[in-house]
Structure formats: C-alpha cells, structure tokens
Structure 1
Amino acid sequence: MRADYFTFNWIFSLKIHSLSAIVAPISVQSDWLSIDMPYYAYEGDQVVVRCSGRDNNKIKRLTFYKDGAWLPAYYNTYIISNARPSDSGSYYCKAKRRVFLFIDDTEQTRSVWLTVQGIPVSGVFLETQPQRDQVVKGETLVLVCSVAKGTGNTKFFWHREDTRESLGQKSQRSQRAELEIPVIRESHAGRYYCTADNGYGLIQSQAVIVTMRIPVSHPVLTFSVPGAQALTGDVVELRCEDKGASPPILYRFYHENVPLGNTAAPFGGGASFNLSVTARHSGAYACEADNGLGAQRSDVALLYVTEFPPKICLVNGPHRCEGRVEVEKEGHWGTVCDDGWDMKDVAVVCRELGCGAAKHTPAGMLYLPVAEEDQPVFIQVALCNGTEAALAECEQVETFDCGHDEDAGAVCEGFGGKVE
C-alpha cells in the first residue's frame, strides 16, 4: 500500500512539471477580471482607470492598454491627470494570475471606449490695460481677450467695430491672450471687440469703447487789454487755455510766481481769472494747466499797469518807452529839467509807465520837434532814489532856471505784451 502511494505521487508530480513546461499562458476575456472607468470625460478632467479581479491576491502582474499600446500604471490604477481629446480610445487591461501551482493564466477585460470631449469657449470678454477711460495719448494700450470656459487650442481675434478693421490674431492653449498697441494716438479712440474659437464655433465679446485722455502740453496766457497795457482800476481778464488737453482741466494763475487763484474748466477749453489792477500789479504773469496727467506752465507774459489818468509820458520817441519826459499838472503838460537827471530818475519813469528797465538818460532835445517856448518846465530837479512808484513821489527842487534846451529824456527797455 505504501509503495503504491509513493508511485502515485511521483507520477502526479511528473505530470504537473510537464504541464508547467509545455502549457503557455493564454489570454481569456472573462468575468474574473473587470475594468472600471467612465465612458465620457471633458477635456481637463482627471480620468481614473481601475482593474480588479475576484481575488486580487492571485494577480501576479497587471497591465493596462490603450488601442493595443501598453500604458505605464501604478498597481491596479492608471490615471489621466489632465484629459485631452488625444486620450480618447479603447482601454482594457490584462492580468497574469496563478491558476494552480506552476500554472499561470492571462485574462483580459472587455474594452471600454473613452471619449474626451472639449469644452466650447464661452463668456468671451474684452478688457483694456489701462482701463478704457484712462488711456493716455502716447502710452501703451493692451487689449486682453479672455474666455470664462473653453479647452484646447483657442484662436483669438481682435477687431475694431467702428472702422471694421482686423487688428490681429493669436492661437494658443490658453484662456487669455493679449494684443498690444505700443503707442496710442488720438486716432485709436473707438469701439473694440474680440472673438474666440476652439473648434466649436466663433464667440464674440461685447464691444468696449476706448476713449483717449490727452495730457496738457503748452497752455497759453493772454490778457484782455490791448498790448497788455492797463490803467489802474481796470479789470483785466487773464485767460489760460490748452486747446488739445482732455477735460476736466484746472488752471492756476501766478503773478511773479505767487499764486493768484485757480479756475476749473470741467468741459475743457480755457478758463479766465479777473483781476482789478493797481500799479503794483505790473509784472510777470504765468498760468498752469493740470488735468491729472501732469501739470504744464505757460510762457511768462508781462502786464503793464499805469495810473489813470496818466501823469507822465515820453513824447516823440520811436515807441512809448522812449522820448522826451513830460508830466501833467492840473490839466497842463510840461517838461522836466535835466539838472541832476540820472538813471535812478529814469528807473522811476520806466516803472511808472510800465516799461522795462532804465537804459539811458538822453537829452530831450534829441526828440524833435522840441517843446514850444510857452510850454512850462514843471520839475527843476528830481531827487529820486530809484524805488518810487511815480516821479511825483520823488523829492523835487522848486527853483526854475531851465529852458527847453535842458529838457530831460528817457529810454526804457521792453515794451509790448509778451516776453517770447
């Protein structure tokens, strides 16, 4: 009996070894191995493919395939982290399992077809950098086209609605694209829109109106009085204007660099500042324009203010700031003797007339015709210190022994309205 037992075991063992040597693994589609995965996915989704058997402990090796090509996988899971249309295809897996002792079997799951669907673009939106109401002439304008949804490669197009002009296009795998206009000009103001298409149809954004803001450049200051010459008591309008700047504009006015006040021009154009003048208002004026994009100051303009009625004048000269000196008393005009007449006296005359600095003290006889014999000489000697506002304020010598051959003259520089 014992001998028969050993004989049986030896024969059975021999047969098993023979089977393991000659039987090759076979691939069988069976219910023992199953695959679990979705049939549909959207582009960008994560797709998980799982394979499992009734008894996973018997699985020696598990492999995944797509369209017959081997896929690298971790244990019983294959993960597509960011699905794309190219991931569409037929998926299945194979398992090599131990059937009995040294006998292995290879089983294959059914094939599952995965369709990866792209997401059509939607929510197309156009914005500008800087914002559309803050675009400044000369700066860079960026047109940003974006989509709220949409996958895959997207084509972006930019258009100008009012001129029906195509501005450019870009194709990229992104939900946002930019088109740059390096130097913005006034002609770029208008209505813009963009379109986007990722293969499912063209979608258009709403139009955006781009308005241009033009900085102030060179304001001009003018006076309302002819020749920039006013009399004391006059109301002089100072007008400052920058015709090309965008509103609102704030204008500031200055006298000898001292602020006088400001006036707003909410709708653009110029603005005025009224000034009731006295002799002390003679001098240099300027204005400044500011619309929030940087302030600019005008050139300096000179205003000349004399007393009313005039008490002094220079006659027979080439202009009002040169000639024989004559003064008025009680409605009559007379001359000034040149005894002691010097540059300090001429400086006072020039100041009173609203002219420039004193230049010369010529003889009055040079300005023909000479004064009539019966015309009086009102001032014998003027003892000015050069700081007085008028010749009448200077100390005077009342002895009169001068004739018209000793009449005083004066030459001042600078006459007219503006310093160029």
Structure 2
Amino acid sequence: VCVCVCVLSFPVGTAFADWLSIDLQSHAYEGDRVVVRCSGKDNGKIKKLMYYKDGSRIATYSSASSYTISNARPSDSGSYYCKSDKSLLYFFEETEGSRTQWLTVRELFPAPSLTVSSLQPVEETSVTLSCDTRLPSERSWTPLQYSLFRDGHTLKSRSSSGFWTLALRKEDSGNYWCEAMTASRSVSKRSRQSYVQVHRIPVSGALLETQPQGGQAVEGQGLVLICSVAEGTGETTFSWHRADTGERLGSKSQRSWRSELEIPDVRESHAGGYYCTGDNTQSPIQSEVVNITVKIPASHPVLTLSAPEAHAFIGDTVELHCEDKRAHPPVLYSFYHNNVSLGNISVPSGGRASFSLSLTREHIGNYSCEANNGLGVQRSEEVALNVTEPPPKTRLVNGAHRCEGRVEVERDGRWGTVCDDGWGLKEVAVVCRELGCGAAKHTPAGLLYPPLAEEAQPVFIQVALCNGTEEALAECEQVETFDCGHDEDAGAVCEALYKSL
C-alpha cells in the first residue's frame, strides 16, 4: 500500500494585497492629539504590528493597536505606514505592509514678539509692553495666555491680554521677554529678549520749610521740619541737620518728593539754624539754612508790692510790680484788685511792668497780675494788701494821760517841738481832734511837763496858725523855727475821753 503525502508550501514574505490598511488624518496643528490606526481584515491573525515614520520604526505591538501622538509637533510631520506579521496555516507566517499615509503638522502660532514702548524710559514713567502672536483663522477660537519675565523671574503671569503697563524703577532694568501658551499648556513659545535700561533723574532744588511757618516755634509745642525736592525719581533719602554743630537729627528714605521730621516738644535749646538734604544718587543736595526762633510762652508772673510786708497807710503811694523773666516779648501785663481790672501795660521788651496806686481805704484786698505775650495768658498768685489810717504826726508827752502834755510833731522819722508863739485854744483844738481826744481845755507851757526836751531835739514849728477846724496840725499854716528854745515849748490839755485812755 502506498501512502502519498502532499505538502503545500507558501513562500515567507508573500503579501496579500489590501489585507492591512492605515488610517491617519492628513493635517493637524501643534498640540493636537493624533491617532495612527492600522488594521487588517482579520485583526485576530496579527501577531506583530509595527509602525514606521519616514522609513524608521517608531512603535511595535504584539497585536492590533493604534499609535497615538498626544502632543503633535511640526517635527511629527512625515510619511507613516505599518507592517504586520500574520499567521497562516499551522506555523507559517506572512508579513504585509500598508500603504503610506502623509501627516502635516502645522504651527499653531508663531513665537510671540515683545514690543516695548521705550527701551530707555525715565524712572517711574509708564512703559507699555505688548506680547503679540497670531492664530490661524480655523483655530482663532483657541484661548491663549501670556506671561512676562525679567531676568528669569516672572513679573506677570497668565494674562489673557498680553498687554501690560508698568511704572519701572531703576532697579527694574534688565532683559525682558514674554511667553504665549495655550490654556492646556500643550503649546508654549517665548519671544526674544529685549533689554530695558531705566534712567533715574537726580534730585534737585532741596527746600526746608517749617510748621508753624517762618521758623516760629513755641516752647513746649511741636515743630515740623519739612524737606522737599523740586524733582527726582526713585527712592530719596532725606536728612535733617543743625547748621551750627552739623548734628544729624534724623533721616528717612521714601519714594516721595517730600518728607517730614517732627520735634514734638520744643525747648529753648532748639533755637538756631537748620538745613536738610535730599539724595537719590549718592550726591546729596542741600537746602538753604532756616533759622528757628523759639518763642517762650508767658509763665506764672510774680507780683510784688513796694509796701513793706504788704502794709500801707491811707494816702501812701504803692507800686505793683509784675514780672515774667522768661516770656518772649512783647508782653501785655494786666493788674487786678479783687479780680477787677485796674489797667494794662504793654512792655515791648518783656521783663517787668509797674502800676502805681494812691491808697484809700477802698484799696484793701487781694491783688494779682497777668502776663500775656500772645502765646497764652498766665496769672500770678494773689498778694493781700492791708491799708490803715496813718499814725498821728503829733503827740503829747509827759502828761497825766495821752491827751495832755508837751506838744511834739514828727518829720522824716524825727520828733521835734512846737514854739508857743501864737499858741492858743484853736491850735489845741486841732491837736485834740488829731489825737482823738475830747475838747480843748488849756494851753499850758511845755515847761510844766518835765523833763525838758533835749537840746539836740529840733523845734519844727515857730508859729501854728490854725482856724480850729483842721483835722491835723500839719494842715495849719505854719511858720518855721526861728529863735525859739525848748523853754518856749507849747503844751496842750484835752478832755480825756474814756475810749482814748
């Protein structure tokens, strides 16, 4: 028996037309997701699937699968095809390739350009920066976001406009560029760098002013020294100085043309010359010197009276002295008696003022004064003045009681006698009235009231010519001493009233 075995053989590598096909879009934009899909008439027979770009294998799969470009780039443009190993009968395999498909990846937008309104701006002036690019008409709806950078640091991030207005400072000089990016961040492009040089204007025209104006400070109150410059950009350092010692009182740095230094509690020692400086380029500009005058307000003045121990007699003249040694002139002094104004005196040089009074009994009471130099009114403490009747200028000595004896009168602190020439009851009546005694009784000689007056004691009145109605012997017409001795001294006897004893 003969057995015949027939073997059918197929050459390896023989391809069956159109068994493997490729599916790929022909056009895409940067950032798009592109899927390259190869399939056979019976994907189950695919043992190995290989993808190629421009003749180079880019991916291999053990079974049917697609190849995905998740973020397309122009470099992904090219020709794509695939090959597949498929199984035949038993252990035989065959390799088949697809047709070639072209992919073109277009630029979504070109690299942006940064436009700067001025590459050499003056500090603190506005500079406009614009980041510009363009989208194709069919992708005009794609949202873009823009960022601005300087020397590697982000200045402005994720703006939808790509337009910025900045007030730059000198330290903001540097390389600027911008970036445009899709919202998904799949496509990002940067502009070229642009160097911006910011110029600073040096300070000029330093000026020192004061508040209160004119450098007129008041002791105990505040004084503000105001330093300003006419121009200058950037941060300015202001300093304040004493002109006589060069002492620096303080300094402040700020982005302003004006700064203030306050002296909260002015003292007399603060008087003098001051100046300030302004500096933004290490070259200070100095102001002119301003002279500060410290006015001293009136303090509590001191009131003194010319009367010893604040006691005076009716008819005396008393001076009231009001003094404020520190008050800045001119000073207006006001005088008061029991809080009733007596009068005002203005003293151009300050210091002290005086007010005179011819005393009557109504002047008894408390006195005070005020000092006012326009910076406040201050009143002194009260001083009491006692006004009494003056002591008699006449007396009777060596008698049995105070209303009888030798007549003596007082002048300039000395006691002298009265000559009995023309001495009568009218004169005795005046003496009695002056001494507060009763009616005139007799006109005895002074010899009756020993001892006699000492020889050195003067005779003050030669003749007293009274009409009898005078209140005191001093009011009578008198003849000065001429040739009387103490043996002619006059005497008097008055009725001694009980209250007078």
TM-score when normalising by structure 1: 0.62
Residue of structure 2 equivalent to 1:330: 430
Residue of structure 1 equivalent to 2:173: 88
- Over 3 Å counting, the alpha-carbon distance change for 1:22 and 1:296 in structure 2 is closer
Note if 1:41 corresponds to 2:121: yes
| Structure 1 spans left out of the alignment, 5+ residues | 1-9, 98-103, 317-323, 338-373, 383-406, 409-420
- Over 3 Å counting, the alpha-carbon distance change for 1:377 and 1:256 in structure 2 is farther
- Over 3 Å counting, the alpha-carbon distance change for 1:132 and 1:88 in structure 2 is same
Kept in 2, the 8 Å contact 1:157–1:194? The answer is yes
Say which is worse superposed, 42-51 or 275-284, in terms of deviation.
275-284
Kept in 1, the 8 Å contact 2:332–2:373? The answer is yes
Residue of structure 1 equivalent to 2:150: 66
* SS in structure 2 of the partner of residue 47 of structure 1: strand
Kept in 1, the 8 Å contact 2:298–2:326? The answer is yes
Residue of structure 1 equivalent to 2:370: 288
Cα distance in 2, alignment partners of residues 258 and 378 from structure 1: 45
Cα distance in 1, alignment partners of residues 222 and 396 from structure 2: 61
Of the candidates 350, 362, 365, which is equivalent to residue 268 of structure 1?
A: 350
Kept in 1, the 8 Å contact 2:116–2:127? The answer is no
Give the alignment of 1:392-407 within 5 angstroms: none
Kept in 1, the 8 Å contact 2:396–2:492? The answer is no
How many aligned residue pairs are there? 329
**1:379-402 deviations in Å (ceiling 9; x for gaps):** 5144xxxxxxxxxxxxxxxxxxxx
Cα distance in 1, alignment partners of residues 112 and 262 from structure 2: 61
- Over 3 Å counting, the alpha-carbon distance change for 1:56 and 1:284 in structure 2 is farther
* SS in structure 1 of the partner of residue 171 of structure 2: helix
| Structure 2 spans left out of the alignment, 5+ residues | 1-21, 29-33, 35-52, 55-71, 77-104, 410-428, 439-490
- Over 3 Å counting, the alpha-carbon distance change for 1:126 and 1:313 in structure 2 is farther
**1:123-145 deviations in Å (ceiling 9; x for gaps):** 33323344455422233433333
**1:338-391 deviations in Å (ceiling 9; x for gaps):** xxxxxxxxxxxxxxxxxxxxxxxxxxxxxxxxxxxx774565144xxxxxxxxx
| Greater length-normalized contact order (CA 8 Å, ≥ 6 residues apart) | 1
User: Which has the larger Rg?
Assistant: 2
Kept in 2, the 8 Å contact 1:73–1:79? The answer is no
**1:299-338 deviations in Å (ceiling 9; x for gaps):** 3334455567x5479999xxxxxxx98899635775769x
For 1:220, the aligned partner's letter is V
Cα distance in 1, alignment partners of residues 311 and 402 from structure 2: 19
TM-score when normalising by structure 2: 0.53
* SS in structure 1 of the partner of residue 221 of structure 2: coil
Q: Per residue, is there more helix in 1 or in 2?
A: 1
Kept in 1, the 8 Å contact 2:394–2:431? The answer is no
* SS in structure 2 of the partner of residue 91 of structure 1: strand
Per the TM alignment, residue 114 of structure 1 is displaced from its structure 2 partner at its CA by: 1.4
* SS in structure 2 of the partner of residue 330 of structure 1: helix
Kept in 1, the 8 Å contact 2:217–2:295? The answer is yes
Residue of structure 1 equivalent to 2:253: 171
Kept in 1, the 8 Å contact 2:123–2:168? The answer is yes
Note if 1:23 corresponds to 2:75: yes
Residue of structure 2 equivalent to 1:205: 287
For 2:380, the aligned partner's letter is S
**1:239-296 deviations in Å (ceiling 9; x for gaps):** 2111111122221111122111111123312223333433322333211112233322
Per the TM alignment, residue 149 of structure 1 is displaced from its structure 2 partner at its CA by: 3.2
Kept in 1, the 8 Å contact 2:227–2:276? The answer is yes
Superposed CA RMSD in Å reads: 4.6
Residue of structure 2 equivalent to 1:113: 195
Residue of structure 1 equivalent to 2:383: 301
- Over 3 Å counting, the alpha-carbon distance change for 1:307 and 1:172 in structure 2 is same
Residue of structure 1 equivalent to 2:164: 79
- Over 3 Å counting, the alpha-carbon distance change for 1:94 and 1:212 in structure 2 is closer
For 1:183, the aligned partner's letter is D
Cα distance in 1, alignment partners of residues 247 and 175 from structure 2: 47
Kept in 1, the 8 Å contact 2:235–2:254? The answer is yes
Kept in 2, the 8 Å contact 1:197–1:203? The answer is yes
Per the TM alignment, residue 83 of structure 1 is displaced from its structure 2 partner at its CA by: 1.5
Q: Percent identity?
A: 43
Kept in 2, the 8 Å contact 1:121–1:200? The answer is no
Kept in 2, the 8 Å contact 1:335–1:379? The answer is no
